[in-house]
Each structure stands twice: as structure tokens, then as C-alpha cells.
Amino acid sequence: MNKERDYGPAVGEAMAGPHNPRMRKNYPLHVEGRHPDRVLDAIKHDVRKYLKRERRRPLPADVDFWDFQCRFGLSADSAQTVHLSEVITSIDAAAKEQATQVYVEIITTHGKRTPRPVMPDVQLLPVNEEEDDLPE
């Protein structure tokens, strides 16, 4: 009995179909009936969940890692480029300043490592065993 699965791919299989490698969201920081700390935790969880999901995707052949270009602001018009490690701290800072909403944009890009430059061979000085400064 070979029944086809119609409920999604198996664990480890790549998902077929178009993929949108960007997240653009306005998050309200004050929601009626919810504690502000729980709203803040939910926003940070959503951002981390997106990053985790994107890092789990299989890499193309010529790509070394997934890179992320991030923008953060109180609105889409005032958003500025920030480093990935500053997104969560920026959300916390906006919440402390009593902002009503925050805008987060994360774009997934292909990252390629650059090899380290080769250092020239360093000439080692010969060690003269007769002139060591160790007490006998």
C-alpha cells in the first residue's frame, strides 16, 4: 500500500516552491490585554525563529554561509541598517524608550568566506645553547 503524502515534506527534505528570503514586519509594542514584557518576548522569539529557519535551509553549491542584512527603526521610513547582533538590543532599547511599534527587516543573502592572506615565512633565529640564561 503505497500512499502518497499530501501533508508536506518529510524531515530533512527540501521544501519545494518559491521562497521569500526577506522578512519585513511592523511589530506593535503595546497590545491590549497583554503584558508588555510578553509582547517584547514574542517579538524577539519571532526574529530568532526566522533566523533559525533561514540558517537551516540547504546552502547552494558556491555559498559558504547564510548572511543577513538587517534594518531596524520605529517605522519603515526611518529604518537604518544595523548589524544582526544589534537587532535584539535595538528592540529592547525601543521598548525602554516607550515606542509604540518597531520595524524589523531581515534579508537573507549568500555569504562567501574570503581566504586569509598567506603570511611570508618568518626566518627563525638559531638558538645558541651555550648562551642560555638559565641557572645551573
pLDDT on residue 131: 61
Q: Considering all CA atoms of the chain, what is the largest pairwise distance in Å, rounded to the nearest integer?
A: 85
Cell of 5: 503524502
Q: Answer whether 54's CB lies under 8 Å from 68's CB.
A: yes
- Of 61-65, 77-81, 91-95, 132-136, where does mean pLDDT reach its minimum? 132-136
For residues 127 and 89, the model is more confident at 89
Q: Answer whether 103's CB lies under 8 Å from 25's CB.
A: yes
pTM of the model: 0.69
- Of 24-28, 54-58, 113-117, where does mean pLDDT reach its minimum? 113-117
Mean pLDDT over 29-43 rounds to 94
Closest Cα partner for 25 from 84, 81, 71?
71
| Statement: residue 87 has pLDDT above 90 | yes
- Of 10-14, 28-32, 131-135, where does mean pLDDT reach its minimum? 10-14
Closest Cα partner for 94 from 75, 109, 115?
75
For the chain, the domains span: 22-111
pLDDT on residue 5: 42
d(CA 41, CA 44): 5
33-39 long-range contacts, Cβ below 8 Å, gap at least 24? Answer: 36/95
